[in-house]
Amino acid sequence: GLVSSSDPGLSSNPFAALFSSIEDSGAYPHVPCLVDEKSFVEATEEEALTDDGHCSSETKAAIDLESDDHTTCISGQTPVGAPDHMQTETGLQLDINDLLHRVFLITIDKSDEHWSREQQPQYCVYVQEIADVLDKDGQDWLDWSCIGQVLFERLLLSDSSSTLINRGQCDYTSHTSESSAATERRVLFYLFSCYQRCAEESKKNIPHLEEHLKKCVDLIVNNCVTCLLSPSELYHCNDIHQQLVELFVENHISVGSNLLLDFLDSVTMVIHENEDGTCSEVFHPVMEILYHKFKEMSVVNSQLFIYADMVHFFTRKPYLAELFLDYIQPAGSVNGKSYENTLLGAMLSISCLVKNDAGPFEFFDRPSHLSPDDHRALESSLWKPISVLTQKVYQIIDSILRLKSPEFKHRMLAWIGQCLHHNAGRGKLWHSQLPEMMNRDHASDSFFLNLCSVMLQICRPFTSEPLSPKLLRINPTYCIATPTNDTESRDQGVHLRGLEKETCLIKIEGDTSEQDKPDSYNFITEVFFMCHRCLYLGFHRLHHRYIKLNQELHRLQVRFEEARRNGDLSNPIMSRLKENMERGMTKFLCMKAALLEPQMLELSLDFAIATSSWLIQCGMVDDRRTFHPPKVALSRTPPTHLRYVPEFVVENIADAVLFLRRFSEANFEATGGRLQYLMTFFVMFMGFRERLSNPHHRAKLAECLEATMPHSGGSDSQLLIPVSMLQRQQVFAELPVKNEVAESLLKVFVDIEFSGDAMQFEQKFNYRRPMYRILQYLWSDDGHKDTLKRMAQTAVEHIDNTRAPLFLQFVNHLINDAIYLLDEAMQYLTRIKEAQQERDRGDWNRLAPHARRQREVNIRGMGQMARFFNIMANETIHTLYFFSNDIKEIFTSPTMVDRMAAMLNYFLKQLVGPKMGQLKVKDFNEFEFKPQQLVREICQIYLNLSCSDDFTLAVSQDGRSYGEDLFDRASTVLQKIGFSDLVVNLTVFSTHCKKLAADQQIEEESLTDTPDEFLDPIMSTLMKDPVILPASKKTVDRSTIARHLLSDHTDPFNRTELTMDMVEPDTKLREQIQAWLIEKKSARRD
């Protein structure tokens, strides 16, 4: 009411209402000149001086503030002689006006005089429509009464560049970025740039503007909320949800994630607090955009991790995490694939693995055109993005688990548990046999391999150290918990279903499981078993496919090489063969790159070591309160906890160790002394069915032990350990259970014979191959060698025990294996020789093309079998060779001596006899046939045992293979192959054999009329100690049935169960035989 409407001067003064009277306001309607700013500051400083000539701190601060151009009015003019309160209020209005211009880059005043101020931005958008309305009221400045409306109109402008105002001090082109910021058409981008400018303004630390900066931020945030809540109604030219994603991507790095996240946090908080139920409407479309981005994204896409960070944003706050958990729930009919078709699943599915076997291939395409160095370079370049991706997913899941919300934790674990349950089919055998059909219902290898890495990272806090106290909190009874609904699952802490159906390590009669189960299980227990389940469904399955693919590629390569030798490369079939090799190698290299990602390998080995440490404790005592020193010997009461642990836990450990052995052995060296926990676990479990009942798994542990042990690199006489293996050698030498290694190994060697699986008869030879290598290494160590010799001596001393001594059983199987393997190998070599001769004569040329190809397939198959049997025969004969150097009595015992002699005679005859030419295939190396080594080692075994007359006699009495010229032929061969040092001793042995043979001939001539009832029905030899078999009532010699029961625990006549303690001595028949022998000897003397 102070301003007269009739006074044009007052009506044109926007700040007239600030004056105390009409007179004051009328005195300053027009100012004829500007007060020089410098003079004004100097004058003010003079007035502010204190009596002592110094300026007070308060006054100085005010002067500094005013000297920073905060005292000019809207028009750029400062009223001369204005009252103090009027000058202060005018300056504040002026500062607010300038601040709003700088933050929002908008204006309602396009006059030049206002734009001469330095506080004003270079460019502003003139909002004409609202400016025209306000101009009617004489307002051309920005304040809080109008800024909301002006900003809203600015956001609705379809083309703000047409109303852009330039201060005119610079060319437009020289400030393109500033002008672009002012004319930004994308609503969210513009609002975020305003938010950024607020942040810059706050750095100036102007106290009287702090409150107004906060109001600016509130205005920005509220308008952003409006945009997100009403995207289609108000902003037709803007895809707001897509903009939000693009905003995150484009500003993630350039401005730093903190400022962007603060902005988004502010927006989401307002939506959450003020708009009940609308958060999902706002952010689920954003998540849908992210889902489709991930579905089409490559692992090497530079924006992948930015999108992943945006997903992580939705787990920062509880209300957002709830939205995220809602969104990632599978929709419709749920199967294993449903979890891959979620936002989290889409992220986990990004990998370098081949998505379509038919192509196109993103990585390693046409691998034959690249060098091995190129392959290695590409492989290593893929590891970093794979690692970072899994870290990002881990951070997302970890954020939810750490929100201190039991409900969110329950839902996240339920998602993982249900995912594993619905994908349980991946662990079945038929999944690998019908991959195309199974992949429709189950998540991909890419998904599961990445999930394995994520789960390993979740478990890292308690698996990085093998003696972490947290390991003792793992409760194995988790695997038999069966909650029936979601509430029970939450209350019991059990989100993984189906474990109760798994085969466990052992079976114990009597069920006391219910009393062992707690009311609920801790987080460590749950994620431990989840991780193992995931590894079995993921890494285990892909590792299996990787090995199979490797074998298939080898077969293709062999066929291709044969075609090239035959000149068939122009054949269309060969072209397809080459194409299949290219595709197969592409898949192989992609799998290799994914499986060898260093972070996951390191975590896998740590997890295997920690699990081994935990199983060691479970395998000794039921007390899980502290770690106990490892002890191989079992207590009187078997450890009950192992009956709850699924077999796949042990399979996972074996997978990790064997994969590293084949492809990344350096990881073993990096573990240092922690390797002892793996070795100790292998020794404690492989030899005791009371800890692990499945003999196949126990044999696999023996292979793992060989993988972690130091490898020999020298000759038989002096095993050399490479420098890289010295640490392993030290760990093995200091193993707390080192004295039990030999016994444990022989136990599993024997037990694998009785696996009960007739379909896998030849698999036992594969299992025993690494055992031979362990035995060779043990034999090179004096301590272990003495242990084996003591076991052999004990076997000799108790050879007639009801239960055959362990070492005797071992020697029996060793001889059985040697006989079978070498015989099979020689038969295949004979057939290959014949086939090669037919081909060389041109017989195959007369065959039809398909018949000729079939012959090629046949000879290739025979070659593979011959190679396998030769490899195993070489190992077996070599083991007999070095054992017989120091252990003799067990081989020359009545139970073993005849079979030992017969075996050696038969194979020596095959190798040096008149039919040796049948074994001379074209390339011995192709089939791993080493006749020179075999002849030398077999002859050395003869000499090792020649000190025994029983053995020498048994050699000479072998009517099948022995002949007086046998050793003469062997001596000739030894001379040719450079082992003449054996010839002299072999000649002496041959002479002794002939003498004993002559003596025996004389004795046998007197026994030609032996009664049939005195002859062993199996061996047709005179019985010395006849016994009656209880079931069949047959009478056989004790040595015969004892030898039989070493390999077969049944009656040989009716297959009923039989043990030595069940046989009955036939005393009457024995006396009759002895009397008859006395009679015969007496008659011979007469």
Q: Is 949 exposed, middle or buried (0-12, 13-18, 19+ CB in 10 A)?
A: exposed
- b/e per residue, 594-632, with b = 16+ CB within 10 A? bbbbebbbbbbbbbbbbbbbbbbbbbbeeebeebeebbb
Q: Helix, strand or coil for residue 1057?
A: strand
- What is the CB neighbour count within 10 angstroms for residue 715? 8
- Does the structure show a pLDDT above 50 at 50? no
141 touches 93 (CB < 8 A): yes
Q: What angle do CA 487, 492, 497 make, to 5 degrees?
A: 80
Q: What is the mean pLDDT of residues 830-856?
A: 89
pLDDT digit string (tens) for 339-358? 999 999 999 999 999 988 87
For the purposes of burial, counting CB atoms within 10 Å of the CB of 277, is it exposed (0-12), middle (13-18) or buried (19 or more)?
exposed
Q: Assess contact for 872 and 769: CB atoms under 8 A.
A: yes
Q: Are 853 and 750 in contact (CB under 8 A)?
A: no
- pLDDT for 718 equals 43
Nearest to 187 by CA among 146, 141, 230: 230
- Among candidates 449, 450, 444, 496, which has minimal Cα distance to 337? 444
Lowest mean pLDDT among 717-721, 894-898, 936-940: 717-721
- DSSP assignment, residue 81? T
Q: Count CA within 13 A, CB hemisphere, residue 714.
A: 11
Tens digit of pLDDT for each residue in 478-514? 999 999 999 999 999 999 999 999 999 998 765 555 6
Mutual orientation of helices 763-779 and 849-883 as an angle, nearest 10°?
30
Percent of the chain with pLDDT over 70: 84
Q: What is the DSSP letter of 443?
A: -
- Residue 897 in contact with residue 890, Cβ under 8 Å? no
Write the DSSP assignment of 359-378 as a string of letters. Answer: S--SSS-SGGGS-HHHHHHH
List Cβ neighbours of 147 (8 Å cut-off, separation of 6 or more).
Answer: 100, 104, 219
User: CB of 225 within 8 A of CB of 267?
Assistant: yes
Alpha-carbon distance values, 265 to 321, 868, 985 (Å): 13, 65, 91
Helix (H), strand (E), coil (C) string for 129-168: HHHHHHHCCCCCCCCCCCHHHHHHHHHHCCCHHHHEEECC
Cβ–Cβ contacts within 10 Å for residue 69, how many?
Answer: 15
- The overall longest dimension of the chain from CA atoms, in Å, is 169
| Model pLDDT, residue 511 | 55
Q: Is the pLDDT of residue 67 over 80?
A: no
Between the alpha carbon of residue 1032 and those of residues 1012, 1015, 1035, 1061, the distances in Å are 18, 17, 9, 15
pLDDT in tens, 120-155: 788 999 999 889 888 888 888 999 999 999 999 999
CA distance 620 to 124: 79
Q: What's the pLDDT score for residue 720? A: 52
920, pLDDT greater than 60: yes
Q: Coil, helix or strand for 962?
A: coil
Per-residue pLDDT, 404:
86
Q: How confident is the model at residue 516, as a pLDDT?
A: 72
Question: pLDDT band for position 726 (50/70/90)?
Answer: confident
pTM: predicted TM-score of the whole model, two decimal places: 0.83
Are the CB atoms for 420 and 530 separated by under 8 Å? yes
DSSP string, 838-876: HHHHTGGGGS-HHHHHHHHHHHHHHHHHHHHHHHHHHHH
Sequence-ordered list of residues with C-beta below 8 angstroms from that of 135, at least 6 positions apart, any chain: 108
User: Which has the higher per-residue pLDDT, 437 or 992?
Assistant: 992
Of 52-56, 706-710, 808-812, the one with minimum mean pLDDT is 52-56
User: Cβ–Cβ contacts within 10 Å for residue 18, how many?
Assistant: 19
What three-state secondary structure class fits 681?
helix
Mean pLDDT score, 537-542: 94
pLDDT, mean of residues 582-586? 93
Compute how many other C-beta atoms are within 10 angstroms of the C-beta atom of residue 886: 13
Closest residue by Cα to residue 875 from 810, 934, 827, 921: 934
- Count the residues in the chain: 1086
Question: Alpha-carbon distance 999 to 980, whole Å?
Answer: 30
CA separation (Å) from 481 to 423, 495, 498, 947? 19, 10, 9, 63
Identify whether the C-beta of residue 448 lies closer than 8 Å to the C-beta of residue 542: yes
Residue 125, H or E segment: strand 123-126
Whole-angstrom Cα distance, residue 418 to residue 107? 57
Contact 591, 542 (CB under 8 A): yes
Q: 1028 pLDDT band (50/70/90 cuts)? A: very high
Asked if pLDDT for residue 173 goes beyond 60, the answer is: no
Q: Can you tell me the mean pLDDT for 750-765?
A: 74
The arithmetic mean of pLDDT across residues 306-320, rounded, is 92
Q: What is the pLDDT of residues 1034-1063, one digit of tens each?
A: 999 988 888 888 778 789 998 898 888 889
Q: Give the range among 399-403, 477-481, 756-760 with minimum mean pLDDT.
A: 756-760
The average confidence (pLDDT) of the chain is: 84
| pLDDT on residue 117 | 61
Give 195-207 pLDDT, tens digit per residue. 999 999 999 999 9
Residues 6+ apart with CB under 8 A from 684: 616, 619, 630, 632, 691, 737, 740, 744
CA dihedral 178, 184, 187, 192 (to 10 degrees): -20
- Higher-scoring residue by pLDDT: 70, 538: 538
Both tokens of 116, joined, read 């001469």
553/87: higher pLDDT: 553
CA distances (Å), origin 66, targets 61, 93, 907? 9, 14, 110
DSSP state of 331: P
Distance CA 41, CA 56 (A): 15
| Helices assigned H by DSSP within 477-538 | 486-492, 513-516, 523-537
